[in-house]
């Protein structure tokens, strides 16, 4: 019996990165068909969806793994593969009982810190039953942390950042906006973080983001110059190479 994926996909829609789309996923009978039994029995087969996606730093990214019984009845454990610096990969559940001829699904989540490694890396699990069935997907993280000002924010006071973030040297902090009612000017102190500059002229508007890319270590207080408020503390630390 195949485990329905509706609940998994509903959760995935909430945690997917801003660059990803839920339509990238294979699900239902098509996903079952993609997991073919091969070799001797009893054994297990596994696959993961989507095969690849793109994201940014500071995001949570979800994948679905399906494990299929090829005549095997018993327990299966899911162990996440090793991940790059600043990435945490988990499987939920981390194991289950599998009936002969049945399929079970699990959610594989890759959490990337704002100071995590950028690049294209494999994310997956080792499914262990009577044999080892490994799955991987490619997750490409741009060297960027994206902050988006919500639609209809208007001329009200609003924070740009939620708390304190840590970045690596060379990472871009991108401030984007979905607010069509006004512009938002990004405040930064010159040279507090090398490469971070105060914004002048027309501020951030839809389709016109503002990028701050560090060239050295430092710390600063980043907020909306037009509307505030200043958080009263340094909220961006570039403290890793």
Residues above pLDDT 70, as percent of the chain: 89
DSSP of 159-192, one letter per residue?
-SSSS-EEEETT-EEEEEE---S--BPEE--TTT
Beta-carbon neighbour count of residue 155 at 10 Å? 11
224: which DSSP letter? E
Q: Is pLDDT larger for residue 20 or for residue 81?
A: 81
Asked if the domains 6-142 and 150-241 are classified in one and the same CATH topology, the answer is yes
Paired strand residues for 165 = 236
Q: What is the residue whose two structure tokens read 């040279």?
A: 191
> In degrees, to the nearest 5, what angle opens at C-alpha 92 toward C-alphas 6 and 99?
75
Task: Note the CATH architecture for domain 150-241.
Answer: Sandwich (2.60)
Per CATH, which fold does 6-142 belong to? Immunoglobulin-like (2.60.40)
* Res. 23 pLDDT band, cuts 50 70 90: low
Spatial strand order of the sheet with 43-49 comes to: 43-49, 60-70, 103-112, 87-92
Which helix (H) or strand (E) element contains residue 240?
strand 236-240
Take residue 93 and report the two structure tokens written for it.
């559940």
pLDDT digits (tens, 9 = 90+) for 127-178: 999 999 999 999 999 999 999 999 999 999 999 999 999 999 999 999 999 9
204: which DSSP letter? B
Q: What are the E-state strand segments in 52-207?
A: 52-57, 60-70, 74-80, 87-92, 95-98, 103-112, 119-128, 132-149, 165-168, 172-177, 186-187
pLDDT digits (tens, 9 = 90+) for 73-105: 999 999 999 999 999 999 999 999 999 999 999
The domain segmentation of the chain, as residue ranges, is: 6-142, 150-241
In 27-139, which ranges are continuous DSSP H helix? 29-34
pLDDT digits (tens, 9 = 90+) for 54-80: 999 999 999 999 999 999 999 999 999
Give the end-to-end CA distance of the chain in Å, rounded to a whole number: 49
pLDDT attached to residue 14: 44
Q: Average pLDDT, whole number, for the chain?
A: 90
Phi, psi of 83 (to 5 degrees): -125, 160
Determine the Cα–Cα distance for residues 124 and 47; give it in Å rounded to an integer: 10
Residues above pLDDT 90, as percent of the chain: 81
């Amino acid at each position: 019996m195949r485990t329905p994926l509706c609940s998994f996909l509903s959760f995935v829609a909430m945690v997917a990165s801003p660059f990803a789309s839920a339509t990238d996923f294979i699900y239902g009978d098509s996903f079952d068909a993609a997991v073919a039994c091969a070799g001797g029995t009893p054994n297990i087969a596994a696959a993961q969806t989507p095969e690849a996606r793109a994201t940014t730093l500071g995001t949570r990214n979800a994948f679905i793994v399906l494990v299929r019984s090829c005549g095997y009845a018993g327990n299966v454990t899911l162990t996440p593969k090793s991940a790059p610096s600043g990435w945490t990969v988990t499987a939920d559940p981390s194991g289950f009982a599998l009936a002969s001829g049945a399929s079970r699904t699990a959610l594989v989540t890759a959490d990337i810190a704002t100071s995590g490694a950028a690049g294209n890396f494999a994310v997956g699990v080792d499914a262990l039953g009577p044999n080892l069935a490994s799955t991987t997907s490619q997750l490409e993280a741009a060297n960027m942390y994206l902050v988006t000002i919500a639609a209809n924010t208007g001329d009200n006071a609003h924070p740009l950042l939620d708390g304190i973030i840590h970045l690596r040297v060379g990472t871009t902090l991108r401030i984007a906006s979905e607010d069509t009612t006004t512009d938002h000017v990004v405040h930064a102190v010159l040279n507090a973080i090398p490469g971070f500059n105060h914004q002048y002229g027309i501020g951030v508007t839809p389709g016109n983001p503002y990028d701050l890319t560090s060239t050295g270590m430092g710390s600063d207080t980043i907020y909306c110059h037009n509307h505030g408020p200043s958080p009263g503390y340094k909220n961006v630390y570039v403290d890793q190479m």
